[in-house]
A and B are shown apart, each in its own frame.
Chain A
Amino acid sequence: MSNPEAQRSGSGRPMLARTSAPQYHERLSTRSLMWSVIAALLPAAIWGVYVYGLRALLVVLMAIIASAVTETLISGSRETLSDGSAILTGLLLGMMLPPAVPWYVVIAAAVFAIGVAKWTFGGLGRNWINPALAGRVFVHFSWTGPMTRWTMPRTLGADSIAGATPLSIVQNAVHEGQALLGGPVAILSASGFPRSTLDSAVTEWLNLNVLTHIGVHLPAGYVDPFVGNVPGAIGEGSALLLLVGTLLLFSRRTISWEIPTAYFAAFAGLAWVVGGLPYGGAAFSGDVLFQLVSGSVIMVMFYVATDPVTSPLTAAGMLVFGAGAGALTFVIRAYGGAAEGAALAVLFMNAGTPLINRLTRPRRLGGRRGRRA
């Protein structure tokens, strides 16, 4: 493993390595982990570039290049680039930005992510908050205007600048007291938010062929946000393609199930139990589906909260972490801002990770719980 001091063992015999056990290794490396996540993100990134245009591609590329350059400059060598972590941070960051964001915001976000969030703590593995998330939140509060200006996807009509994402339209309506229209999708319809023909076609097909057998009727308006036919961040729109990417992550065991599952349970549970109240509904009437497919919940749940560096070590810790992040996402959304809810929730839990680690130490064989002197 370490110091494989190969030595010659007599003439004519092969060079044999002297190593300490274990003598063989899982087919796994930091690098392969990072590149799996990159590969899993690509379908959603490509979709973003398709629907939001070339501008989106430029933003993503800029974020990647700026991250890579910052990483190289700070680490002083190109070596740390090869682990793929800086590329991944750049890609994630680019995918979390609006398509029309000015170039200097992209650069600022990348430099903050790598330079401040990652390297002030000593680089990969030492940072305690997720760099991409930190970069995104940093520019969100520094350039809130450009960070909340969204582009209409080409699949919904012209290449125009739209005012807001579905989630922010709904939240503004709730804040302005226009909530008693029944629910988020009803609010969107009333506000004249466009809907694609794909949405109605798929909804109709689903209702006729699948859902009718289980006695469920799906209203129109969910398919667009699910496939990514809405204004939003470049790579966060398509819940569908992000979910497709998770197949790779789970099959290769790149991420464990604990964090997404606990996140989902806490977030969806709260959305169901109390999520209906702002719309004049009763308890247990929340629109879970809308909450899940809007904003950056899917992205954050599977790709950001699962960052190994900034999440807890044990399975129990991961459950606590995921549940905390899910619950906080709901709370921030309900009482605070819109799109950044999930991001802030995970940042907050990142800060709590050392504490969670301390509280969820594994129990040692023979009884005693691990303790530190």
Chain B
Amino acid sequence: MITLPRRPRGGVHPENRKAVTRSLSIRNAAVPSRCVVPLLQHAGPAAVPAVRVGDRVREGMLIGRAADSAAANVHAPVPGVVTGTATLTLADERSCEAFVIDLEGEFDRLGKVAEPIDWQRKSVRELLRGIRDNGVVGMSGSGNAVHRKLNLPRAAEINHLIVNGIENEPYLSADNRLMIEMTDGVLEGTRIAERILRPQRVTIALQKDSTQAIRKLRRRIRERGLDYAVRALPVNYPQGDERLLARAISGREVSAERETSEIGVMVSSVATMYAVFEAIVYQKPVIERIVTLSGAALRSPANIKVRIGTPIAELIAECGGFVESPEKIVVGGPMMGHTIIDVSTPVTKLTTAVLALTAAEIHHGAETGCIRCGRCVRACPVGLEPTTLYKMLEHTELEQAQAAGLFDCIECGCCGFICPAHIPLVEGLKNGKLAVRQHGGRM
């Protein structure tokens, strides 16, 4: 069956403010003298401690072992001594234990030239094990264990691998820089995923405005003789969502409660592909990541490669501190990210960005009554009526809200962003899901 690509439905067009960081090359952050490494940097349960206080750890050594297949291993980002543990509240409001590691001794990787491994001679099982052992998770914020995602049941078949370079949260440009500066790593990671999944087609999807990355990818694909398509999609938030991107590229739909693998599509981000590349080719665990630092409160915004566990305060210092005091500090993008009130919160595998936003750039407004304008309905990319759901939840009509699609909500933020009455629609729907779960109605 031929399925035509589809135009996005709904969505919004927020000012993207990427110009500030888009052309800034990735630079390395200073290695922190003390890392705080959470044991929960993935979906699923926290990792089980694999070291004890007082232990000496090497760079990249396992310090937390995945508790089950949904979780991921955690490694020491720096060499040193485990001087303590701490209970943290992460940016995403989950709590977990963390190891405090004081920098000491020699780096095994930093400053040394690593030998690439010829992965072509490895079996699929060996590749999956390499991805698992090195703690690779969905690096664009989902935190899903990648080895589990790639390891499909025998019956399942992936026709189409889509590599997600959309990065359509405003401000963010780390993925864009990654595609430009580490093009071959991204492509190599994609080849590894292709080897595991054996799809008929591979498409790398970007937004039209990432012109430099599009050119670079196309050129390297041509030069290397790869059979990958690069698709430039019109700018629309939130088409970077897994299911929406699957729909845009393959023309097939799957609801929020099902996986895209059911329609033969696998979506994985460019940052994840790069992490797969490093895990397999250099046997390097996920101990650092690229973070966009932006927002009008920051003196010099940047794209920085940073060790996991670095306190956010140190990244802010790397960017010259504040030019004015921020109204809020957001970890992740402005549409779906979380605020932190404690800048000692560490960077995790899921920290795509840190934004120091001023009052002038967030357009905060007082909440007023719904005027039924329908902007939220027209903006909803999954076809919900956010205003209707919100009103049902206000009256604690949990069953009606479920029947009206509460659990189809992908929490993309479009409705709350566009609402002229500034009603906290997303928060209301999130709380509604929580209430349903607590009532045992679901999951």
* A interface residue numbers (CB < 8 A to B): 1-2, 4, 7, 9-10, 13-33, 83, 123-126, 256, 308-315, 317-318, 361-368, 370-373
Contact assessment for A362 and B420 in the assembled complex, using a CB-CB cutoff below 8 Å = no
* B residues less than 8 Å from A31 (CB atoms): 368
* A residues less than 8 Å from B49 (CB atoms): none
* B interface residue numbers (CB < 8 A to A): 12, 14, 170, 243-244, 247, 253-258, 322, 325-330, 334-343, 355, 357, 361-365, 367-374, 377-378, 380-385, 387, 399-400, 402-405, 408, 411, 413, 416-418, 420-422, 424, 426-427, 430
Question: Closest residue to A22 on the B side, CB-wise?
Answer: B413
Residue among A15, A19, A83, A318 facing the most chain B CB atoms (10 A cut-off): A19
Query: Could you tell me the distance in whole angstroms from the C-beta of B199 to the nearest C-beta in chain A?
Result: 22
| Complex Cα spacing A24 to B328, Å | 10
Contact assessment for B405 and A364 in the assembled complex, using a CB-CB cutoff below 8 Å = yes
| Complex Cα spacing A373 to B398, Å | 10
* A residues less than 8 Å from B402 (CB atoms): 373
| Complex Cα spacing A10 to B420, Å | 34
- The verdict on A30 contacting B421 (CB below 8 Å), with A17-B328, A23-B357, A313-B377 known, is yes
Contact assessment for B374 and A314 in the assembled complex, using a CB-CB cutoff below 8 Å = yes
Query: Could you tell me the distance in whole angstroms from the C-beta of A357 to the nearest C-beta in chain B?
Result: 8
* A residues less than 8 Å from B326 (CB atoms): 14, 16
Contact assessment for B343 and A361 in the assembled complex, using a CB-CB cutoff below 8 Å = no
Contact assessment for A15 and B399 in the assembled complex, using a CB-CB cutoff below 8 Å = no
Residue among A10, A27, A313, A367 facing the most chain B CB atoms (10 A cut-off): A313
Contact assessment for A30 and B368 in the assembled complex, using a CB-CB cutoff below 8 Å = yes
Tell me whether chain A's interface is mostly helix, strand or loop, or mixed.
loop
Contact assessment for B328 and A22 in the assembled complex, using a CB-CB cutoff below 8 Å = no
Contact assessment for B404 and A370 in the assembled complex, using a CB-CB cutoff below 8 Å = yes
CB-contact partner of A373 in B399, B416, B417, under 8 A = B399
- The verdict on A25 contacting B336 (CB below 8 Å), with A2-B367, A124-B371, A370-B404 known, is no
Contact assessment for A26 and B377 in the assembled complex, using a CB-CB cutoff below 8 Å = no
Sample (10) of A-B pairs whose CB atoms are under 8 Å apart? A16-B327, A16-B329, A16-B339, A21-B335, A22-B334, A23-B357, A33-B420, A313-B377, A365-B256, A370-B405
Contact assessment for B322 and A14 in the assembled complex, using a CB-CB cutoff below 8 Å = yes
Residue among A19, A125, A366 facing the most chain B CB atoms (10 A cut-off): A366
* A residues less than 8 Å from B328 (CB atoms): 16-19, 23
* A residues less than 8 Å from B369 (CB atoms): 30, 123-126
* A residues less than 8 Å from B322 (CB atoms): 14
Query: Could you tell me the distance in whole angstroms from the C-beta of A80 to the nearest C-beta in chain B?
Result: 9
* A residues less than 8 Å from B417 (CB atoms): 22, 24-26
Contact assessment for A1 and B427 in the assembled complex, using a CB-CB cutoff below 8 Å = yes
Question: Closest residue to A364 on the B side, CB-wise?
Answer: B383
Contact assessment for A9 and B253 in the assembled complex, using a CB-CB cutoff below 8 Å = no
Question: Closest residue to B338 on the A side, CB-wise?
Answer: A21
Query: Could you tell me the distance in whole angstroms from the C-beta of B256 to the nearest C-beta in chain A?
Result: 7
Question: Closest residue to B376 on the A side, CB-wise?
Answer: A313
Contact assessment for B335 and A30 in the assembled complex, using a CB-CB cutoff below 8 Å = no
* B residues less than 8 Å from A364 (CB atoms): 255, 382-384, 405, 408
| Complex Cα spacing A7 to B438, Å | 28
* B residues less than 8 Å from A126 (CB atoms): 369
- The verdict on A370 contacting B385 (CB below 8 Å), with A2-B424, A308-B374 known, is yes
Contact assessment for B420 and A28 in the assembled complex, using a CB-CB cutoff below 8 Å = yes
* A residues less than 8 Å from B247 (CB atoms): 365
Contact assessment for A371 and B343 in the assembled complex, using a CB-CB cutoff below 8 Å = no
* A residues less than 8 Å from B336 (CB atoms): 21-22
- The verdict on A361 contacting B367 (CB below 8 Å), with A22-B335, A25-B417 known, is no
| Complex Cα spacing A22 to B253, Å | 25
Query: Could you tell me the distance in whole angstroms from the C-beta of A368 to the nearest C-beta in chain B?
Result: 8
Residue among B14, B364, B400, B402 facing the most chain A CB atoms (10 A cut-off): B364
Contact assessment for B426 and A20 in the assembled complex, using a CB-CB cutoff below 8 Å = yes
Contact assessment for A17 and B327 in the assembled complex, using a CB-CB cutoff below 8 Å = yes
| Complex Cα spacing A124 to B372, Å | 10
CB-contact partner of B404 in A30, A33, A313, A373, under 8 A = A373
Can you list the 7 inter-chain pairs with the closest CB atoms, starting with the nearest? A366-B255, A308-B373, A313-B374, A373-B403, A22-B413, A14-B325, A20-B427
Contact assessment for B253 and A366 in the assembled complex, using a CB-CB cutoff below 8 Å = yes
Contact assessment for B420 and A24 in the assembled complex, using a CB-CB cutoff below 8 Å = no
Contact assessment for B258 and A23 in the assembled complex, using a CB-CB cutoff below 8 Å = no
| Complex Cα spacing A363 to B384, Å | 8
Residue among B336, B337, B424 facing the most chain A CB atoms (10 A cut-off): B424
Contact assessment for B380 and A362 in the assembled complex, using a CB-CB cutoff below 8 Å = yes
A25-B365, A372-B400 are known; give 10 further A-B pairs, CB within 8 A: A16-B340, A20-B430, A22-B335, A22-B426, A23-B355, A23-B362, A26-B417, A125-B369, A367-B255, A370-B405
